[in-house]
Chain A
Amino acid sequence: MDRLLNVTTALSLILLLMVLFSIRRQHIRVEYSMSWLLAACGLLALSRCRPALDFVATHIGLGVDSPLALFLIGGSVFLIMFFRYSMIVSDLRDDNIALAQRVAILEFHINKLINHG
């Protein structure tokens, strides 16, 4: 169990550093990085704080010293985040389509004005 917690600690730290570096290089916008930072910090806290992990594990019916609890929590967090990002991508696609249509319509009007001017 300790070894497993060390591995998740390392993975959380790697995720945290990757997100921070991505923000610094402007590869990810701050508003979209918040949930990744929260997820990485949450996993880091659970990996390093056994009482907290045991508390969560007991309350979801797995009992203490259960490595499954960490993966269940991590998996749930990532599923929720993927769903959230699917919603964001869908919104962006809708906006992108509306913008592309608007650009085409404006270009149509401009060409009409040029041809009639």
Chain B
Amino acid sequence: MCLGIPGRIVAVTDAARQMAMAEVSGVRREVNVACVASAPLEDLVGKWALIHVGFAMALIDEDEAAATLDALRELGEAQEALEAMAAGDAALGERA
């Protein structure tokens, strides 16, 4: 929950709400980009960000993203983050 995970911003999905699609270890997830926003928001596309609980919190370069992802995998935290994302998706479906 505290470590976050690197993801690559692939598209702006809702500029008014500052939402963008990020790709995290092959999984796509809509994230909030308010904390790293630049004008125009489209400039973020293609960049890497450290994503904490659905919010892009810092822009990082590609090498840093790769090194961070490696460290997270070794700690088992990358898997944990991906499982949490899947749990979040499941929760939206539950009893709905």
Q: Say whether A and B bind each other.
A: no
Which residues of B are in contact with A by a Cβ distance under 8 Å?
none
Which residues of A are in contact with B by a Cβ distance under 8 Å?
none
